Amino acid sequence: MFTIALVCQKGGAGKTTIAVHLAVEAQQRGYRTLLIDLDPQASAAKVLDRRGDQPPDVTTEHPARLDVAVPAAEAEGYDLVVLDTAPQADQAALRAARAADLVLIPVRPSIVDLDAVQATMDVCQLAKRQPVFILNAVPAQGSEAREAREVISIPGATVSPVALGDRKAFRIAFNDGQVAQELDPKSKAAAEITALFDALNIPTGSHSHTATIERVKELRP
Ligand SMILES: Nc1ncnc2c1ncn2[C@@H]1O[C@H](COP(=O)(O)OP(=O)(O)O)[C@@H](O)[C@H]1O
Ligand SMILES: [Mg+2]
């Protein structure tokens, strides 16, 4: 089983949006997927609840119980666990990062978001994880993405070659418990999620942390 955590000290960066989209994408590709929502607001859980019995499975959990919840998911036969976390919850974010093989940090290309990057990096360093940044809600025009890429090109982190645009599909899909790929499989938003999932190269079956680090190095553009 492989575990991904979405972590970012800044609220509104796109943790829940990306967690839910990746979880559904994984499920569609045949990974038996469980989303564990660690945010007390339970936004991801509420979105997935709207799907009724349609997978992926979702549960809410307290971060302090992750050391039980993740092995339990593995025992139940899940291939992938996606952890969605609350912003500004240092201890909870640290627990999630420690429980994860791969830590993803969504970041918007704005100065307030970029200023908050170091706080999330500190959490990853404490957890001894090399995170992958995902530029999110990038405007269609302008140089923000390129400039942001330079700011987050810091030692011990990787920047995903695939960024997500600022797209209506990401905002409205959740209204019906859907994701952008389901709303319109031919949309740019859908293509970005497919490309992002491919770039992350998430393994199936057994794996090791060493393999994870090697794989993340390959991501370096
Ligand atoms: N790529 C995107 N394009 C357009 N809107 C987005 C995008 N990513 C996130 N949003 C919107 O931004 C808001 C915050 O995103 P969310 O995923 O809830 O952030 P977080 O979980 O990090 O607090 C939501 O209203 C969401 O629909
Ligand atoms: Mg959220």
Residue-range domain boundaries for the chain: 2-219
Q: Which ligand is nearest to the CA of 109?
A: 1
CATH superfamily for 2-219 is: P-loop containing nucleotide triphosphate hydrolases (3.40.50.300)
pLDDT in tens, 86-142: 998 799 999 999 999 999 999 999 999 998 899 999 999 999 999 999 999 999 998
Distance CA 121, CA 201 (A): 22
> Cβ(139) to ligand 1 under 6 A?
no
* pLDDT, average across residues 154-172: 94
Distance CA 158, CA 75 (A): 31
Residues 171 and 163 sit within 8 Å (Cβ to Cβ):
no
Best mutation site among 7, 17, 138 for ligand 1 pocket (most ligand atoms within 8 Å of CB): 17
Give the pLDDT confidence score for residue 209 in this predicted structure. Answer: 43
Is it the case that residue 34 has pLDDT exceeding 90?
yes
Q: Which ligand is nearest to the CA of 180?
A: 1
Burial class (CB in 10 A: 0-12, 13-18, 19+), 37: buried
Which residue CA neighbors atom 7 of ligand 1 most closely?
137
